Amino acid sequence: MSSPAPVVWTSSGAVAGAWREHRSSDGDVSRAAIFLGIPYAEPPVGPRRFLAPTPRAPWEGVRPALLHGPTPQRRSPYGPDPYVPEPSIPGDDLLTLDVGTPDPSPDAGLPVLVYIHGGGFIGGSHASPWYGGQAFHRDGVVTVAATYRLGFDGFGWIDGAPLNRGVLDWIAALDWVQQNIRAFGGDPARVTIAGQSAGGAAVMRLLTMPAARGLFSGVLALSPADMPVTVDDARRLTEEAAARLGVAPDLEGLRSLTEAQILAEQERAGEEPDDPLPTMLERSGLVLGPVIDGELVPGTVAEGIAAGIGDDVPLLIGATAHEFDLAVGDAAARLDGVSAEAALARMRIEDDLATALITRSPRQDAFGVVGHAVTDITFRRFVALWAGQRATAGGSPRTWAYDFRWTGGADGLAVHCLDLPFGFDILREPTAMRRAGAEAPQELADAVHGDWLAFIRDGRVVAPVHADARSTIVYGEPLREIRPGYAAEEAFALGTGAAPVPAPATT
C-alpha cells in the first residue's frame, strides 16, 4: 500500500507534496517528501510589478505542491542547449520555492541547504534536475530551491521603485525558510545558503549584507564573482531604454511596457560590441545585477569582509580551474593571427599581469590565453581575495577554499559548472553524463559531495582552514589533496605584484 501524500502546514496554509524514491550509485533506495511551487510571496504582477515582495496571503484548504512554479526566466539567454538544463516555465506566480525533505516532521531537526541558481542574473532556473537534491535527502538534509526576479525585473533602476528587487526576493525567501522550515523537518538554526556563478555571487552578497544577518548559518560559494553595478550605471541603462521606447523611466512609464518589450531591451543591452576585447572584463560582462545603493547593498563584497560583516559565518568557497577558458564568445573570431600578448593588451591588461597570465594559461595561443585570463580575473581572483581577506581579518577562522581541477569531462578542461554534478552527486543524470562523461569517477563525487555534506551538517570541512599556509582542497587526480592554492590569483587580487607564478601542477 502506498503512503499517504505528505502534508505540511506553512504560515500561509497547508501544502500537499509527494513521496519520491531515489536510487543511489551503490543501489541503495531512499525516499523523500517533495513539495514544489510553494509561494513565498504574492505574484509580482499588476500593481505589485516592480515593487518589493509582499508576504503571501493565507489560502484555504490544502494546496497541491506537485509542480514547479513559473520561472522568472522566460527563455534561456544561453540558447537551446545550455550547459546546465534549466527549464523555463510560464506563469505569473513567480516567487515560489521547492522543498525536499527526508523527514517532514517538526521535531526532525535536520540541516538545511538553500540553493540560489546562477545564470548571470538574467537567466537560470530553480527547476533544473541538477538542483533536485536527491543525494542530500538521502544523507539527511532538507533542501530548498527558490526563484527570484531576474534581469530588469529584478535589478533595473526605476524612478519610484525600490532598487535590488531580486535581492529583496532572496531575503524574503530566507525569511520564509526561517518561519517555515521546521514544519518540513529542518532546523532554522542550521541553514546553509549555496549558489554557483551568479548564485555564488548572490550568497557572497548576502554574507556581507547587514540586512541578511541571522537568516543563515553557513555559506557555500561556488565560482562566485563580484559583479557590482553602480546606481549611475543602472539609471543610465533605464533612461536610455525608456527613451528608445518613448516612455518615462518611472513606474507608470515602465509598467506600460509589456514583458516582451522589456526582455527585448534587456537582450539589446547585453549584446557584445563589435570588438568585445576592450570591455570583456568590465562588470564580468554583465549589465544587470545587484546595485550598490549604499543601503540594502552597501558596498562591494570585499568592502563588507573588510568591515567584518559576516566574519562569524563559516564559508566554503572555490572555483574550477578553467571556468571560462572556452567562453570567449564573439571575441574568438577576432583572435585569428593575433598574438596572446596583443590580445591581452587589447583587453587593457598591463604587461606584468599579462606575462603572468600567459605563463599560467594551459594553452599559449590567443584564444586559450584570453579565455584563461577571463577565468582568473573574473572568478578565481575573487576566491583568492575573499578567502585571503577572511583568513587575515581576525574574525572566524572557519574559511575553507577548494580548487576543482578534474579535466576528464567532455570539454577536456575543468570548465564552469563541471563541479556541480559532483557536488550534487548526480553523475547518472542524463545531462550530467553528457557533460562529465559516462566514466566520471563516482569516487570524486563522493569526495566533493562529502565535503559539501560535512559543511552543511557541521559548518566545517575535514581540512585545514585557508589561513593555514593558504591551504586549499584540490579535487582532481588524485581525487582530493590539500596543498597551497590560489597564490598567483591572490597576488593579482590584492595588488601585491603580478610577477609570473608557475601554474599549479595539474592533478
Among residues 126, 416, 449, 466, the one annotated as catalytic is 416
- In angstroms, rounded to a whole number, what is the distance separating the alpha carbons of residues 172 and 168? 6
Among residues 86, 126, 137, 323, the one annotated as catalytic is 323
Among residues 76, 197, 217, 223, the one annotated as catalytic is 197
Cell numbers for 65, please give them.
Answer: 505542491
- In angstroms, rounded to a whole number, what is the distance separating the alpha carbons of residues 15 and 390? 41
- In angstroms, rounded to a whole number, what is the distance separating the alpha carbons of residues 488 and 496? 10
Residue identified by cell 531575503 is: 171
SS3 146: strand
- In angstroms, rounded to a whole number, what is the distance separating the alpha carbons of residues 278 and 365? 18
Identify which of 130, 433, 452 has the alpha carbon closest to the alpha carbon of residue 318.
452
Cβ–Cβ under 8 Å, residues 298 and 210: yes
Residue 4's contacts (CB-CB under 8 Å, 6 or more residues apart) are none
Cell numbers for 353, please give them.
Answer: 599581469
Cell numbers for 168, please give them.
Answer: 529583496
Say if strands 229-230 and 142-146 run parallel, antiparallel, or are unpaired.
Answer: unpaired
* 323 flagged as catalytic: yes
SS3 237: helix
CA–centroid distance for 107 within its chain? 30
Catalytic residues: 197, 323, 416
